[in-house]
């Protein structure tokens, strides 16, 4: 880090209830794994064989196990800002027999080379980040041209619900609807095909069914496959 360079903002720490919930079978079976499976379906044909993968916000490492099985990565990086979660993820990765590097690191300041990753998976991480612009700049920087970002996010129509606000913690930057996240991706020179975007409404979001052009406005979730464009518009750190 250069002298006098400002320290990039980190994430808002999760509550104890939040940490517990993200280690539960409910989270694994009804939140994390269904989202990853849908993103994989949406991304069909876009991901390189035996990719170098970054799991951005790996938590307890359940997603690491999924990546090892589904993507057969040649190299797997996984990062989280919670050292205790990183240690758990390391233990999971150690049983998988893959080349994996699990580190305590901010998604706003990735200690990875430019153009070194084929696939970034960011599941329910970005809405905890106080500076989402920095995180997306880093994702784009480490991705190779035509590399893929799989993004799953909770949106403000869900996060503003009273039980969510009572038991979990999110920064003001989380107050985005699905269209805001899609615009943010495009602003950072990711190509987003509408056919590779979905607005799920699983039962646990308590969201009413919605269809048509307005579905993204009140959607509780946004799942998007974003492809890094060629060129180097935002590939450098700022």
Over residues 220-236, the pLDDT tens digits come to 999 999 999 987 554 44
Question: Given this model, what pLDDT does residue 213 score?
Answer: 56
Helix axes 83-94, 62-70, angle to 10 degrees: 40
Residue 66 pLDDT > 90, yes or no? yes
When comparing pLDDT for 153 and 210, which is higher? 153
When comparing pLDDT for 25 and 214, which is higher? 25
pLDDT in tens, 138-174: 999 999 999 999 999 999 999 999 999 999 989 998 9
Residue 80 pLDDT > 90, yes or no? yes
- Paired with 191 in beta bridges are 227
Q: How confident is the model at residue 212 (pLDDT cuts 50, 70, 90)?
A: low
Q: Do residues 61 and 102 make contact, with C-beta atoms less than 8 angstroms apart?
A: yes
Cα-based angle 31, 37, 39 (whole degrees, multiple of 5)? 95
Q: How confident is the model at residue 182 (pLDDT cuts 50, 70, 90)?
A: very high
CATH class of 49-210: alpha beta
How many Å apart are CA 83 and CA 100, to the nearest integer? 16
3-state SS assignment for residue 202 = coil
Residue 43 pLDDT > 60, yes or no? yes
Question: Given this model, what pLDDT does residue 238 score?
Answer: 35
Least trusted range by pLDDT, from 9-13, 21-25, 149-153, 170-174: 9-13
Cα-based angle 69, 71, 75 (whole degrees, multiple of 5)? 100
pLDDT mean over 183-206: 96
Q: Do residues 123 and 57 make contact, with C-beta atoms less than 8 angstroms apart?
A: yes
Write 82-88 long-range contacts (CB < 8 A, 24+): 82/13, 82/14, 82/19, 85/19, 85/58, 85/59, 85/60, 85/61, 86/58, 88/60, 88/61
- Residue 30 gets the label, from left (phi > 0), alpha (psi -120 to 50) or beta, of alpha
How many Å apart are CA 35 and CA 59, to the nearest integer? 15
Question: Given this model, what pLDDT does residue 3 score?
Answer: 44
Question: Given this model, what pLDDT does residue 22 score?
Answer: 86
Question: Given this model, what pLDDT does residue 11 score?
Answer: 74
How many Å apart are CA 168 and CA 124, to the nearest integer? 13
Note the pTM of the prediction, 2 decimals: 0.91
3-state SS assignment for residue 198 = strand
Q: How confident is the model at residue 78 (pLDDT cuts 50, 70, 90)?
A: very high
Residue 65 pLDDT > 80, yes or no? yes
pLDDT in tens, 50-61: 999 999 999 999
pLDDT mean over 204-231: 86
pLDDT mean over 199-216: 83
Q: Do residues 109 and 103 make contact, with C-beta atoms less than 8 angstroms apart?
A: no
pLDDT mean over 185-193: 97
């Amino acid at each position: 880090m250069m002298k006098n360079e400002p320290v990039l903002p980190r994430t808002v720490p999760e509550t104890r209830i939040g940490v517990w919930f993200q280690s539960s079978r409910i989270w694994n079976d009804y939140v994390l794994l269904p989202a990853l499976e849908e993103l994989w379906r949406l991304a069909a044909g876009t991901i390189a064989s035996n990719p170098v993968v970054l799991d951005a916000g790996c938590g307890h490492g359940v997603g690491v196990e999924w990546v090892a099985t589904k993507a057969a990565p040649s190299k797997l990086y996984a990062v989280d800002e919670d050292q205790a979660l990183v240690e758990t993820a390391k233990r999971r990765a150690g049983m998988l027999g893959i080349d994996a590097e699990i580190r305590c690191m901010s998604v706003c300041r990735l200690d990875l080379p430019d153009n070194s990753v084929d696939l970034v998976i960011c599941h329910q991480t970005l809405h905890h980040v106080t500076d989402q612009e920095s995180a997306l700049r880093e994702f784009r920087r480490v991705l190779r041209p035509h590399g893929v970002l799989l993004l799953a996010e909770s949106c403000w129509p869900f996060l503003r619900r009273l039980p969510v606000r009572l038991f979990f913690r999110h920064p003001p930057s989380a107050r985005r609807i699905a269209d805001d996240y899609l615009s943010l991706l495009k602003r950072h020179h990711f190509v987003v095909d509408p056919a590779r975007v979905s607005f799920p409404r699983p039962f646990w979001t308590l969201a009413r069914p919605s269809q048509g052009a307005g579905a993204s406005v009140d959607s509780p979730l946004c799942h998007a496959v974003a492809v890094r464009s060629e060129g180097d518009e935002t590939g450098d750190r700022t």
